[in-house]
Amino acid sequence: MAMEITQFLLAAQSADANVRNEAEANLRQLQQQNLPVFLLSLSVELANNDKPAESRRLAGIVLKNSLDAKDASTKETLVQQWMAIDISFKSQIKDLVLRTLGSPVPEARHTSAQVIAKIASIEIPQKQWPDLIQSLLNNVTQPESHAVVKQATLETLGYVCEEISHEDLVQDEVNAVLTAVVQGMNLAEHSVEVRLAATRALYNALDFAQTNFQNEMERNYIMKMVCETAKAKEVEIRQASFECLVSIASTYYEVLEPYMQTLFELTSNAVKGDEEAVALQAIEFWSSICDEEIELQEFDTPETGDSSPPHSHFIEKAQSSLVPMLLETLLKQEEDQDQDDSIWNISMAGGTCLCLVARTVGNEIIPLVMPFVEENIVKPDWHRREAATYAFCSILEGPTVEKLAPLVQAGLEFLLNAMKDENNHVKDTTAWTLSRIFELLHCPSSGFSVITSPENLQRILAVLLESIKDAPNVAEKVCGAIYYLAQGYEDAGPSSSLLTPYLTSIITELLRTADRTDGGDSKLRSSAYETLNEVVRCSNIAETSKIIAELIPAIMSRLSQTLELQIVSTEDREKQGDLQAALCGVLQVIIQKFSSSDDTKSVILQAADQIMLLFLRVFACRSSTVHEEAMLAIGALAYATGPEFAKYMPEFFQYLQMGLQNSEEYQVCSITVGVVGDICRALDDKILPFCDGIMTLLLTDLSSSQLHRSVKPPIFSCFGDIALAIGEHFEKYVPHALQMMQDAAKACAHLDVDDEELMDYGNQLRRSIFEAYSGILQGFKNAKAEVMMPYAQHLLQFIELVFRDRQRDESVTKAAVAVMGDLADALGPNTKILFKDCSFCAEFLGECLQSDDEQLKETAGVSSEISGFLLIHILWYRKLLQCLRDESVMKAAVAVMGDLADALGPNTKILFKDCSFCAEFLGECLQSDDEQLKETAGWTQGMIGRVMVS
């Protein structure tokens, strides 16, 4: 039944684009016409040893890509397609890919292993393909199995373990897999290829070994095999074994105590004398231990009140030997490592680990590192000077400020002088060290800074502004130093003025640096513009407005010049886009800075027409790189100009539409949704002429299976912004928008709470749905509030669902409580019946009013007052008052009872007649020690008395 597709597969790899495109089109057509036969044909091609290696390779790739995709929605579609295929086809495909594990062609075996794992990822969680694990184990354990079969099967087991959860296998299967894998690592019995495959498979299977690691005998056996393999003759096997140890350090930290002496010896020997690939993993082992212990220290804070998991203090016990070993790695620099940020070598790994050790042991690191720094910082050999500087920088985070301050202040002048060192590496690391010093130890607003005087600051800036002219890699680090230097003066009160005299010089040098043509790939230009943004953002606007105002035409001129660049290649287009994005980013920060004060907003209003014209011309370049930054800048401009932004909408609207339709570049779409909200807040009902188009696109985006899910929460929030802006005119969108919100609310209940990423997404989604409801309810509050009555019951059910979730995020809680108040406020007496049967409301509000979060308490208090005013005669509010006993709430409740009697007069007679609890409540308040509460209760009692008499 399979088709002959060899020629199509070979043609799809042709150097001739026409031949290649035609073949790819033919393959797509075959796939669309009959997917089961197409997939079977691919597996036949992959399994056939008589077919060309090229066609088999592509057949495997296409087969694998037909089962899995990076995009979640596409992956779900592929899974559903596979599940829908008839079992007879699937059985043939699975038999063929299993058979391919014995192919003499390594690439065919490798691809087949990946395909098997992809099928397993779909079927094993569904309790299908029950004999897969046993079939693979038979390949490994049967004496007659050829070495290539064992190697390919172990590789497959590793991939399968990577794809599925440990919960998908029963413990007997886990035991059998681990036994087969660990035995495959045995030096005496197997070839190098089999042992390497087994060691790599163990790495992927370690998550499955939780039960086994709790058993001392089994744990000892696994650790024994891993440690023996770490001493194998073959570099690749040693590297794979150390990768296993890194994973074990993270996963099974609590059981490592008996093995630590052996592990220190293994890692120490590897770091000192093994190949770099192995040594890097040995260092990574200690970095992982640090990560675990840092997390344990954070967990074991008094605020949590939780019992801490076991903390073995491995780093503290090993530091006297570990730190000297790491310091030695710093001397193994590569000649060009300062030119490429992507380089990762022993020196950099050692420095990173040293930084983690400092965070783990705190002050204890100082006496272990400072002798090395002092001994080497002035040595003739640049390797030693650079290593000493790197070591000093690596311990800046961890020790207390009190311990570090004297060292840094004593060494600061030395570091400034070192910016003139003859060696580029030393200058690079020194600039980075200064950057870290200003990041960690320069915060005048908190009362401490290593910059102790205006003269000190003048000296520092003189060195930095001179050094920014140095080699691109040094200049980039200097930009970082200026960035954190400026950031330290944000919200620093009088100290923020210290930077003002130097602002013109700083801006001038940063612009000059951004214009340099020798930056190459060092990211110098982007660093210069990012630093310029931070300098503007953190400046004292009252003192620097004239200086920053002069920056506006300079940046606009640069942006205008980019529109005239000659574009002859894709690279030219990318460079133009990157530069435009950076300049739009600077304008955004300037607009936000001037808009933050009424005294300076006029500067932006005067330049708004020219700025907007430039942004529109930038959009016309059709670059997604720029689209994001330009959109953000326009959002800032909308906020600054307010209702005046309406004049730009007719021309801008086409680009707003483009952004909302850009589902492929979902970040652009997401930012555009946010800008719609900004514009709604700026224009209010002036946005109305554009709402049909906007709402149509937003609803289309929500319905799209192609759009990344992260865009959907902002869309719901945007519904609220639109409804607030246009009020009763939102009515025509309600049926479609509310249906989408209800569907999303239902979806929240089915998200996997064990998946941290999904849980975060669920919290974002729920919060945004509540924000949408709040905006819509507030929009209808003064007219047509009854439109929302049919949806109120569903909203309360959703709130209750959130209330019952003990893992809900605090931001979701705030949004839920706020919408309860909005519901009562908007629908008024109509909510009486709704709230009557919702006893959870009282519990929810009570819980929030007892929170330590002041903002949450305030929100809950407002919601309580609104709901209480309307429903005070209903039993749930009585329960609320009884459960709280919070004096501020009692005062508010007593006052609102009086307000109710005063406002409604004789109409409240019947209400109070049936509320015997009112007398009890007033009696309790009148006996309170709080004079203000007694006075309020007395006033209320009198008011109710007059009503009842009348």
pTM higher than 0.85: no
pLDDT at 661 over 80: yes
Q: Tell me, what's the pLDDT at 835?
A: 63
Residue 946 pLDDT level (bands cut at 50, 70, 90) = low
Comparing 49-53, 342-346, 376-380, the range with the smallest average pLDDT is: 342-346
Residues 6+ apart with CB under 8 A from 617: 560, 563
CA within 13 Å, CB half, 385? 20
Q: Tell me how far apart the terminal alpha carbons of the chain are, to the nearest angstrom.
A: 93
In contact, 841 and 820? CB cutoff 8 Å = yes
Q: Tell me, what's the pLDDT at 867?
A: 52
Residue 126 DSSP code: G
3-state SS string over 247-298?
HHHHHCHHHCHHHHHHHHHHHHHHHHHCCHHHHHHHHHHHHHHHHHHHHHHH
Top-confidence range, 27-36, 674-683, 908-917: 674-683
Region 858-884: mean pLDDT is: 51
pLDDT at 816 over 90: no
Local structure of 402: helix, strand or coil:
helix
Comparing 4-13, 667-676, 715-724, 930-939, the range with the smallest average pLDDT is: 930-939
Report phi then psi at 442, rounded to 5.
Answer: -135, 95
Q: Tell me, what's the pLDDT at 862?
A: 61
Q: Tell me, what's the pLDDT at 754?
A: 67
Residue 648 pLDDT level (bands cut at 50, 70, 90) = very high
Q: Tell me, what's the pLDDT at 880?
A: 47
Burial classification of residue 329, based on how many CB atoms lie within 10 Å of its CB (0-12 exposed, 13-18 middle, 19 or more buried): buried
Residue 134, number of CB atoms within 10 A of its CB:
11
- For residue 448, what are the β-bridge partners? 443
User: Can you give the residue ranges of every domain in the chain?
Assistant: 1-129, 428-539, 553-694, 708-882, 884-949
pLDDT at 794 over 90: no
Local structure of 498: helix, strand or coil:
helix
pLDDT digits (tens, 9 = 90+) for 273-312: 999 999 999 999 999 999 999 999 887 654 444 555 678 8
Helical H segments across 704-755, by residue range:
712-726, 734-748
pLDDT at 836 over 70: no
Mean pLDDT over all residues of the chain?
87
Could you give the C-alpha distances from 305 to 29, 300, 606, 817, 850, in angstroms and in order? 62, 8, 56, 26, 18
pLDDT digits (tens, 9 = 90+) for 600-638: 999 999 999 999 999 999 988 877 678 889 999 999 999
Residue 915 pLDDT level (bands cut at 50, 70, 90) = low
pLDDT digits (tens, 9 = 90+) for 247-262: 999 999 999 999 999 9
Give Rg (Cα) of the chain: 34
Q: Which helix (H) or strand (E) holds 448?
A: strand 448-449
Comparing 268-272, 483-487, 712-716, 881-885, the range with the smallest average pLDDT is: 881-885
Q: Tell me, what's the pLDDT at 871?
A: 43
CATH topology of domain 708-882: 1.25.40
Region 844-855: mean pLDDT is: 72
Residues 6+ apart with CB under 8 A from 358: 365, 369, 394, 395, 396, 397, 398, 399
Top-confidence range, 332-346, 425-439, 846-860: 425-439
In contact, 489 and 449? CB cutoff 8 Å = no
Q: How far apart are CA 532 and CA 526, in angstroms?
A: 10
CB crowding 22-51: b at 16 or more within 10 Å, else e: ebeeebeebbeeebbbbbbbbbbbbbbeeb
Report phi then psi at 448, rounded to 5.
Answer: -135, 140
pLDDT at 848 over 90: no
In contact, 212 and 178? CB cutoff 8 Å = yes
In contact, 552 and 544? CB cutoff 8 Å = no
Higher-pLDDT residue of 932 and 633 is: 633
Residue 322, number of CB atoms within 10 A of its CB:
25
> What is the DSSP annotation of 863-915?
HHHHHHHHHTTSHHHHHHHHHH--HHHHHHHHHHHHHHHHHHGGGGHHHHHT-
Q: How far apart are CA 96 and CA 74, in angstroms?
A: 25
Region 479-502: mean pLDDT is: 90
pLDDT at 864 over 70: no
Region 226-243: mean pLDDT is: 95
Q: Tell me, what's the pLDDT at 318?
A: 94
Region 582-608: mean pLDDT is: 93
> What is the DSSP annotation of 834-859?
HHHT-THHHHHHHHHHT-S-HHHHHH
pLDDT at 321 over 80: yes
Residue 311 DSSP code: -
Could you give the C-alpha distances from 701 to 50, 726, 761, in angstroms and in order? 48, 21, 17
Region 228-248: mean pLDDT is: 95
pLDDT at 496 over 50: yes
Region 189-196: mean pLDDT is: 87
Using CA atoms of 9, 11, 15, 19 in order, give the dihedral in degrees to the nearest 10: -140
Residue 890 pLDDT level (bands cut at 50, 70, 90) = confident
Q: How far apart are CA 35 and CA 227, in angstroms?
A: 47
Comparing 53-57, 199-203, 204-208, 746-750, the range with the smallest average pLDDT is: 746-750
Local structure of 682: helix, strand or coil:
helix
pLDDT at 873 over 50: no
Q: How far apart are CA 886 and CA 849, in angstroms?
A: 8
Report phi then psi at 664, rounded to 5.
Answer: -70, -50
pLDDT at 182 over 70: yes
Q: How far apart are CA 90 and CA 36, in angstroms?
A: 8
Q: How far apart are CA 266 and CA 944, in angstroms?
A: 83
CATH placement of domain 553-694: 1.25.10
Percent of the chain with pLDDT over 90: 58
Residues 6+ apart with CB under 8 A from 623: 573, 576, 577, 580
Q: Whose CA is closest to 71, among 767, 708, 748, 737?
A: 708
Higher-pLDDT residue of 567 and 415 is: 415
Region 43-58: mean pLDDT is: 91
Local structure of 793: helix, strand or coil:
helix
Region 207-231: mean pLDDT is: 93
Q: How far apart are CA 851 and CA 866, in angstroms?
A: 19
Q: Tell me, what's the pLDDT at 146?
A: 87
Residue 521 pLDDT level (bands cut at 50, 70, 90) = low
Percent of the chain with pLDDT over 70: 89
pLDDT digits (tens, 9 = 90+) for 750-762: 776 667 778 888 8
pLDDT digits (tens, 9 = 90+) for 97-150: 999 999 999 999 999 999 999 999 999 998 889 889 999 998 888 877 888 999
Comparing 39-53, 251-265, 810-824, the range with the smallest average pLDDT is: 810-824
Residue 567 pLDDT level (bands cut at 50, 70, 90) = confident
Q: Tell me, what's the pLDDT at 894?
A: 75
pLDDT digits (tens, 9 = 90+) for 733-787: 999 999 999 999 988 877 766 677 788 888 899 999 999 999 999 998 888 888 8
